[in-house]
Amino acid sequence: MDAKAAIQKAARELGFSDCRIAECSPAEHRDAFRRWLDDDCHGEMEWMARTPERREDPSLLLDNARSVIVVALSYWQGEAAETSTDQHGATGTIARYARGDDYHLIIEDRLADLCCVLEDLGGVQKSYVDYGPVLERDFATTSGIGWNGKSTVQIHRSLGTWFFLAEIITTLELTPDTAAQAHCGKCTRCIDACPTDAITQPHRVDARRCISYLTIENPGPIPIEFRKALGSRIFGCDDCLDACPWNRFAQVARDANRFSRPHLERMALRDFLALTDAEFRELFRQSPIKRIKRPRFLRNVCVALGNVGDESDLPALERSAQDPNPLISEHAAWAIRQIQLGQNEAID
């Protein structure tokens, strides 16, 4: 068995859904990336603009780098439960990838094991999940993992849109796989599905309008103009992913249970507002949600309650409106006004 076959076999045994090889060369869409930065479409994500040349060329990340190994890991859990309102109160919507354990922890362990295989083959390497300085979707396309959809989400023939990407840059000279061809055709379902028109043209997303950005990366208030569009979402958004017709081929992930915590999906929105900082950290231990911390998360919860809550949620919101953190108190006050406005309209 040659080195490439041994690596791909090890990747499958470690639980990765796919493993392909790209040549270690500058990213194909580096000019488009620079234009995106120049137009401030990255919003407050300042790290995206730091040393962009390192993101564009993986050879700058490792001396004598020759290949980029791209792996995919499915997180499809099956059809998601709908947001509901019952005697316990309205529930929120969390993006599928964030409903269970932090994918960084899951993938990093497997990457470390795969790097051991590469070391045995004589390679020196660096591995990255999505926080690393790599334009990963370009290399995923070049490696043949999938193609970049019009929403900028990567699409795989048999995984749909429900998978993570990770990369290993190595000094091993491996035979590259054939680049993937796009198979979106004239379809614009992902663009049409975006609640905030964040996909301003095919293959270009203005993060400042994107619900995932607004609820996760955005450190400040949710702009008033987008609050109603959030609906019940409290962390991320799956609308453009959900809309992709290639998802009809997706199968439930081998370790789908690690990507789901049903008790969180059933938890009433108003109950999140009662969490102390320590309780928040414990509830979301080893979850990607923990990263945004309590004030930003409760900001999102307040907006969701303003959209899907009712008068039974007012006591919890009124307490949050007194929170010393203005990010929480201002959004709680907004939610109270929205619920009261809905009550007045119902009376009229």
Question: What secondary structure does DSSP assign to 23-90, as a single string?
Answer: ESS--TTHHHHHHHHHTTTTTT-GGGGSSHHHHH-GGGTSTT--EEEEEEEE---SSPPPP-EETTEE
- What gap in Å lies between CA 250 and CA 291, rounded to an integer? 28
Average pLDDT, the chain: 93
| pLDDT at 114 (0 to 100) | 98
- What gap in Å lies between CA 305 and CA 139, rounded to an integer? 40
Query: Who contacts 217 (Cβ-Cβ below 8 Å, separation ≥6)?
Result: 43, 44, 45, 207
- What gap in Å lies between CA 250 and CA 85, rounded to an integer? 29
One of 39, 40, 109, 130 is an active-site residue; which one?
A: 130
Instruction: Choose among 25, 26, 15, 19: nearest CA to 3.
Output: 19
Q: What is the pLDDT of residues 212-259, one digit of tens each?
A: 999 999 999 999 999 999 999 999 999 999 999 999 999 899 888 899
Query: Who contacts 237 (Cβ-Cβ below 8 Å, separation ≥6)?
Result: 95, 195, 210, 211, 212, 215
- What gap in Å lies between CA 150 and CA 203, rounded to an integer? 4
Partners of 127 in the β-ladder: 168
- What gap in Å lies between CA 7 and CA 195, rounded to an integer? 41
| pLDDT at 88 (0 to 100) | 77
Residue 237's Cβ-side half-sphere holds a number of Cα atoms within 13 Å equal to 27
Q: What is the pLDDT of residues 258-268, one digit of tens each?
A: 999 988 889 99
| pLDDT at 83 (0 to 100) | 45
| pLDDT at 346 (0 to 100) | 55
Q: What is the pLDDT of residues 273-304, one digit of tens each?
A: 999 999 999 999 999 999 999 999 999 999 99
| pLDDT at 287 (0 to 100) | 96
The beta-strand segments (E) located in the chain are 18-23, 67-74, 85-86, 89-90, 93-94, 125-128, 147-148, 154-155, 163-170, 199-201, 204-205, 233-235
Residue 222 in tokens = 């949710």
pTM of the full predicted structure? Answer: 0.92
Q: What is the pLDDT of residues 49-100, one digit of tens each?
A: 888 898 899 999 999 999 999 999 999 998 754 444 455 789 999 999 999 9
State mean pLDDT over 164-171: 97
Residue 163 in tokens = 């998978």
- 130 as an active site residue: the answer is yes
State mean pLDDT over 4-27: 96
